[in-house]
Chain A
């Protein structure tokens, strides 16, 4: 809990962190709402309430970005400047450090999701279902992208290179995973790429659980995200340097 509170406090005092975690998704929501809310807009091609479509997608995309870009940057900097090594010299264990970070990321993700849902309801009259599938999917998504961020921070020595690599991974994934438009509207070779990206299943799972109430579809997405999360969290923990083994 101490780690969680300290990490959240540190994060919330970062202007760039706040901008990236909360303001940027809201601005994108407003922009997309304006574009797709316009009569004769591409919304007709999507064939459904577009706000309902991109609300879960945007939420998923920014939880991904917070994990992949945000955590990679923070994690690699803490490793470079010796903070992790200093913490390792206290009785705090690596597991406690990792759990504290997962908890802080979960809190931030739920705040982001709540913000997006409230704005969706107020601005676009979107009503969504809050159910166990949605909550578990949100948590697994946090775990998954936390694992990616920790792995990159642990594997890449230079913080600048880690930051570049995280952006290189996050932005194409955001565009190719059905966040802004349906995967089915993309060329078949890009659909093939989308099918191996974890964000595709995370966004789809949120959509299935909170919008279309397709719980069998949500369960499939949940299983895929859970497997990705398990593998990546193990890798993230493995690559986080604590005591030299």
Chain B
């Protein structure tokens, strides 16, 4: 439980992550993802409840530094002292730990070695985030906490970071990452917890989530656009836009009949495709959030 000024940001959130597992916290903006990560990284205490990281309680004031030695953290927007170079920034953070890995090998891993002498203030957002990822790994952590690591990043940065996450997974590191990209959770994580309005509304592997929550079908109205979306929105809260396509998950045939009748009634003719539900549909059904073209919640 986490409250800010009496308002619950997290309420009854409960999950466990196994050693060597990649666990994604998937949720729309404002769901409580960052608060969850900040509690795990020992910079924000829970208002109530118990949280254990690497077997130690984050609430006990004597433990956080022991936990902090063993975790690596990448915030949503990594920042360092602006006039230190990339190499200096990495060495600065490395000096906070008793043991650390070779800085240059991390720059190689994140493909930013040629930026080693560039000042932090002169880096693009993507390069800053890659440096932040290198910093998160500088102490060879047992647990890596990544808060929306690829959100808003360019294609090259997303590719480099996903590759590193894959490498870490192969080396048996435990990773907890937050994302609002269903595709990212599906691609990177062993298990996913869907967080909505401060509550975990579903938890499991993609297959388990589909089994449990994706029982229905989905109808896609190709290039339906705003006219189709507006018409269906009056009948269904779960309708969303996927580019210019309009997506409607449904459980009963009667729902499909209502949708088609409404469209015919408005004189709207559109190509209709029926398909099985995906994790995106499950997410949509559970959170009510629409998706952007890239599969990110909005």
Interface residues of A, Cβ cutoff 8 Å to B: 2, 6-7, 9-10, 13-14, 78, 81-83, 85-93, 242-245
Given contacts A82-B77, A90-B97, contact A14 B83 (CB under 8 A): yes
In the complex, the chain B residue whose C-beta lies closest to that of A88 is B43
Stretch at the interface among B67-75, B195-203, B214-222, B270-278: B67-75
Per-residue contact bits, chain B 63-100, to A (CB 8 Å; 1 contact, 0 not): 01100110101010111111110001000110111000
A-B CB proximity, top 3 nearest = A13-B83, A90-B96, A2-B95
User: Which residues on A sit within 8 Å (CB–CB) of B212?
Assistant: none
- B44 touching A83, Cβ below 8 Å: no
Contact across chains for B82 and A10 when beta carbons are under 8 A apart: yes
Interface pair A91/B97, CB less than 8 Å apart: yes
- Main secondary structure, interface of A, reads loop
Chain B residues with CB under 8 Å of A78's CB are 81
Contact with A along B35-55 (1 / 0, CB 8 A): 000100111110000000000
Residues A83 and B81 in contact, CB atoms below 8 Å apart: yes
- Complex: A43 Cα to B143 Cα, angstroms: 68
- Residues B97 and A86 in contact, CB atoms below 8 Å apart: no
* Chain B residues with a Cβ under 8 A of chain A: 38, 41-45, 64-65, 68-69, 71, 73, 75, 77-84, 88, 92-93, 95-97, 119, 132, 135
Q: Tell me the interface secondary structure of chain B in the complex.
A: loop
> Whose C-beta in chain B lies nearest to the C-beta of A86?
B75
In the assembled complex, the CB of A159 is this many whole angstroms from the nearest CB of chain B, namely 13
Q: Are A6 and B96 in contact (CB under 8 A)?
A: no
Least Cβ distance of A98 to chain B in Å? 15
User: Across the interface, which residues of A come within 8 angstroms of B119, CB to CB?
Assistant: 13
Chain A residues contacting B64 (CB-CB under 8 Å) are 243
**Residues of B with C-beta under 8 A to A13:** 83, 119
Q: List 9 A-B contacts (CB under 8 A).
A: A2-B92, A6-B84, A13-B83, A82-B75, A85-B43, A89-B75, A243-B43, A243-B64, A244-B38
Please name all residues of chain B whose beta carbon is closer than 8 Å to the beta carbon of A89 when the two chains form the complex: 41-43, 68, 71, 73, 75
Question: Roughly how many angstroms separate A82 CA and B24 CA in the complex, as a whole number?
Answer: 23
Question: Is there contact, CB below 8 Å, between A6 and B79?
Answer: no
State the CA gap A88–B93 with chains docked (Å). Answer: 11
Closest partner residue, chain B, to A242 (CB atom): B43
Q: How far is the CA of A91 from the CA of B41 in the complex (A)?
A: 11
Q: Which residues of B contact A83 (CB under 8 A)?
A: 79-81
Given contacts A89-B71, A244-B38, 13 further A-B contacts (CB under 8 A): A6-B81, A6-B88, A81-B77, A82-B75, A83-B79, A85-B75, A86-B73, A86-B80, A89-B73, A89-B75, A91-B65, A93-B65, A243-B44
The answer on a CB contact under 8 Å between B77 and A91 is no
Chain A residues, Cβ within 8 Å of B95: 2
- Is the Cβ of B44 less than 8 Å from the Cβ of A9? no
CB proximity of A116 to chain B, nearest CB, Å: 25
Q: Which of A14, A85, A90 has the largest number of chain B CB atoms within 10 A?
A: A90
Which residues of chain B are near A86, meaning CB under 8 Å?
A: 73, 75, 78-80, 132, 135
